[in-house]
Structures are given as C-alpha cells and as structure tokens.
C-alpha cells in the first residue's frame, strides 16, 4: 500500500524493524478486502513518535500505555504497536512490557491466523508455525492454551465466534469451543460497549447462522442476550437477505434475535449501551401499529410509510417476513419493500397559518383541526389537490365549537 511507504520509511530511518501484522496480512493471504493496516515494530513508542515527526508525519498516541501510536499518512491512519508481552491481565485490561522478540509478541495474540507478520518486501513470518495453514483452512485456533488466552481478555470469547462467522470452515476447534463455554460467565465483567461492538461485527458476516447456533449451544448467547426467544426469526432473516440479495444488516439481525416487543428491545439496547439512533431503530422495528401484513394494499402501505417512515416500515416488513411460516408470500413481501423504496411521502399541503386564516383562533384548537384534516388527506391517499384540502379545512373549522 503506497500510503504506508512514508510510515515504513520513517520507522526504518530510526533503525527499527517493522512489519505488517494481523488482519491486513491475513486478508491479503485470503484475497479478502483490507480495511485497517496495522504495523508492529521493535521501536519503543517514544522512538516511533520521534521517527514519525522527523519525517513530517502526524503521530497520535492512541494507546501509548500499550505501545500503540497512530501515524497519519496521505489522510489515512496506520496503527503502529511496539512488540510486547503481557506482564499481568485481569480479563479486561493488561499491563504490558515491550520487547524486541517477534515470537514473544506472537504468543500474546488471540488466534494463530492473526499472529502473522509480513515484511514490506512481501516476506511472510509465521512465528506460531501454523498461522498460515490455519488461515487457509479456515481454522480459528487460539494461540497456545485457549483458556489462558480467554483469561487474558474475556472479549476473546466473542471474537472467537466473530472470526468463526467471517473466516471459519469445517468443524470448529473443540478446545476453543470448550474454553468459550467454560469462560462464558466472564462476559458479564466486560464493558457493554465492547460486547455490542463485537456482536454487531459478528452479525455483519455474510452468514453468521452457524456461529450464532454454536453460541446458543455453548450458552454464550444467553450471557449477552438473556431475553432471546430462539433463533427461528434470526435464521429466517439471514435466509431472506441471502436469497433476495439484500445488504447484510447487523442491527436488524440483532432485532431478529430479540423478542417481538418494544419494551424488551429498549431494555436490551440499554443493557448493550447502543447509540440513541440504534436504540430508536430497534424499538421502532418492533412496533405493532400499523399492523404489517403481506396482503397490505398499496394504499395501506403508503399510509404506513407516511406514519412510521421508510426505515421502520422496511424493518417491520423484513421481520414479519422472517417470522412468517408461509413462503408463498415472498413476492408480496418483496412488492411491499419495492413500494417503500420507490415512493416518497408528499408533504402535507396545509400549515397552521392556513388554519388561522380559516377563522380558528390561536391555541390548541389549531393543532386539533390540522390533525383532523391531515387524517382526511391520508385517508384520501394523499390527494394532490390543495384546494380540496382547504375546502375540507373550512368544513372542519365550521364544525368546531370555539
């Protein structure tokens, strides 16, 4: 990657040895898209900062206590971390010591397929001796003892299932599964934000159903989603997204894992510390009014879109579709989604000023009249005739007792 060259040049000039590490190496081997580019180096954090600044690059000490500095080159961030080993851990955070031993650094990483390094000339380094083979075979295997890796960071339980969903093939590693099941209670000690972030990443995989089924079997899912009603709706939603070529929607998949109830969705969102927008979307997806059915008429559909918005209407359709037992209505559900995507709700043609001009005095009566006329307008399928709306307003206003 060309934008990484100035960073590596700066580190090389300081006399350190630096290599690409982790996800970017793994994905390059597997011909997968590369998002983040991480670099490991033998330089100490203060030396990294000095090297970057000497080269005119921005250095941000994003995790200096753990040896991490972010370099900015050509408007892109590169996370640079000094080789390290764990001194002590409590399952949530670690105290580290810096080292120059690549094998020692590899031993503190989570999975063998993530403990891969590559020099800038393309030379691959596999300190565990099995990372390359495991990556190609789709084996998600902890580095060393699985229980010890989980004790170092409890989030690695969820990371195991996330990597299983994204990269796993064949039978999952038995030792890893057993260690995740044995350590599942430790998930309660993690910050909710870390759990929800990892869960949504997992649910964004093309087909997370096998991984989620294993989470259910091992009891891990119950630890983070105790209110889950089962996996039927979730499985149905992923199947629909796959068959209909919809984009993977991790938040809606989370909704499918929750009870079909707004209060339960709100409580789950609070427990997982989701953002306000994520919480609101989950809650709206569980709404019961208006009722969503596969046999809704176009007129009823437009009315629903106007009332609850395109996003909530589409979410409710997909969830209702996923929970339905009949598959014959596929074309009807698809038609409802197409209508929602193609129809833009028109603005209501009247304002409070129009109501005042009709003779209604200022006060709460203005809103009441406006709502009654709007209901009439909606019932008439959003009639595109302001004159008719004005005439209706006059009739309503005349019938009101001021």
Do 295 and 316 belong to one domain?
yes
pLDDT digits (tens, 9 = 90+) for 87-119: 766 656 667 788 999 999 999 899 999 999 999
Q: Is the pLDDT of residue 22 over 60?
A: yes
Residue where a domain terminates, one of 137, 167, 185: 137
CB 284 within 8 A of CB 253: no
Please indicate whether residue 376 or residue 90 has the higher confidence score (pLDDT): 376
Record the tokens describing residue 31, joined without a space: 């011909």
Residues 214 and 95 in one domain: no
Residue 215 has pLDDT above 80, yes or no: yes
CATH code, domain carrying 74:
3.30.460.10
Statement to judge: residues 149 and 218 lie in one domain: yes
| 86 and 23 both lie in a single domain | yes
How far is the C-alpha of 23 from the C-alpha of 118, rounded, in Å? 11
Q: Would you say residue 326 has pLDDT above 60?
A: no
Do 125 and 39 reside in the same domain of the chain? yes
| The domain boundary residue, chosen from 160, 194, 224 | 224
CA distance 114 to 22: 4
Rounded CA separation 300/305 (Å): 9
Question: In this structure, are 34 and 107 located in the same domain?
Answer: yes
Q: Do 261 and 211 share a structural domain? A: no
Query: 80, exposed or middle or buried, with CB in 10 Å at 0-12, 13-18, 19+?
Result: buried
Same domain, 253 and 363: no
Q: Using alpha carbons, list the distances in angstroms from residue 240 to 260, 296, 319.
A: 18, 19, 10
In this predicted structure, the answer to whether residue 209 has a pLDDT above a threshold of 80 is yes
DSSP state of 359: T
User: Would you state the pLDDT for residue 3?
Assistant: 79
pLDDT tens, position by position, 264-302: 999 999 999 999 999 999 999 999 999 999 999 999 999
167 by Cβ neighbours in 10 Å (0-12 / 13-18 / 19+) ranks as buried
Predicted local confidence at residue 38, as pLDDT: 95
Last residue of a domain, one of 111, 137, 163: 137
Q: Say whether both 196 and 105 belong to one domain.
A: no
* Whether residues 125 and 65 fall in one domain: yes
| CA separation for the pair 188, 135 (Å, rounded) | 30
Q: Which domain holds residue 6?
A: 1-137
Q: Are residues 75 and 45 in the same domain?
A: yes
CATH classification of the domain holding 158: 1.10.3090.10
The token pair that represents 252 in the structure block: 């809606």
pTM: 0.89
Q: How many whole angstroms separate alpha carbon 52 and alpha carbon 16?
A: 12
For residue 5, the tally of other CB atoms under 10 A from its CB is 12
Q: Strands, E, within 9-140: which ranges?
A: 18-21, 38-41, 58-63, 68-73, 76-82, 84-89, 94-98, 117-118, 124-125
Output DSSP code: residue 209: H
Are both 127 and 3 inside the same structural domain? yes
CA–CA distance from 127 to each of 10, 24, 34, 327 (Å)?
25, 17, 22, 51
pLDDT value of position 397: 86
Tens digits of per-residue pLDDT, 239-268?
999 999 899 999 999 999 999 999 999 999
Overall number of domains in the chain: 4
């Amino acid at each position: 990657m060309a934008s990484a060259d100035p960073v590596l040049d700066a580190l090389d000039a300081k006399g350190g040895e630096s290599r690409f590490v982790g996800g970017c190496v793994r994905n390059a081997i597997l011909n997968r898209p590369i998002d983040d580019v991480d670099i490991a180096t033998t330089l100490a954090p203060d030396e990294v900062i000095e090297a970057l600044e000497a080269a005119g690059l921005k250095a941000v000490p994003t995790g200096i206590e753990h040896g991490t500095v972010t370099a900015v080159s050509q408007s892109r961030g590169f996370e640079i971390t000094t080789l390290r080993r764990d001194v002590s851990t409590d399952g949530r955070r670690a105290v580290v010591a810096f080292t120059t031993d690549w094998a020692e650094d590899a031993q503190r990483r989570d999975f063998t397929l993530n403990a891969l390094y590559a020099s800038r000339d393309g030379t691959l380094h596999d300190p565990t001796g099995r990372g390359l083979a495991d990556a190609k075979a789709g084996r998600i295997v902890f580095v060393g003892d699985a229980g010890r890796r989980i004790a170092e960071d409890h989030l690695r339980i969820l990371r195991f299932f996330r990597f299983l969903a994204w990269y796993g093939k064949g039978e999952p590693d038995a030792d890893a599964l057993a260690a995740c099941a044995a350590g599942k209670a430790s998930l309660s000690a993690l910050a909710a934000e870390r759990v929800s972030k990892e869960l949504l990443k997992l649910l964004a995989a093309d087909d997370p159903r096998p991984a989620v089924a294993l989470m259910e079997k091992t009891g891990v899912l119950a630890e983070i989603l105790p209110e889950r009603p089962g996996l039927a709706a979730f499985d149905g939603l992923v199947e629909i997204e796959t068959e209909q070529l919809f984009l993977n929607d991790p938040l809606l998949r989370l909704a499918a894992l929750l009870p079909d109830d707004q209060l339960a969705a709100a409580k789950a969102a609070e427990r997982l510390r989701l953002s306000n927008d994520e919480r609101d979307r989950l809650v709206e997806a569980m709404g019961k009014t208006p009722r969503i059915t596969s046999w809704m008429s176009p007129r009823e559909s437009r009315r629903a879109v106007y009332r609850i918005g395109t996003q909530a209407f589409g979410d409710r359709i997909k969830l209702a579709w996923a929970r339905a037992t009949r598959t014959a209505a596929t074309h009807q559900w698809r038609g409802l989604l197409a209508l929602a995507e193609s129809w833009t709700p028109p603005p209501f043609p009247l304002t409070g000023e129009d109501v005042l001009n009709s003779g209604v005095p200022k006060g709460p009566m203005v809103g009441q009249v406006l709502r009654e006329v709007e209901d009439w307008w909606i019932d008439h399928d959003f009639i595109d005739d302001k004159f008719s709306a004005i005439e209706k307003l006059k009739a309503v206003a005349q019938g009101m007792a001021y």
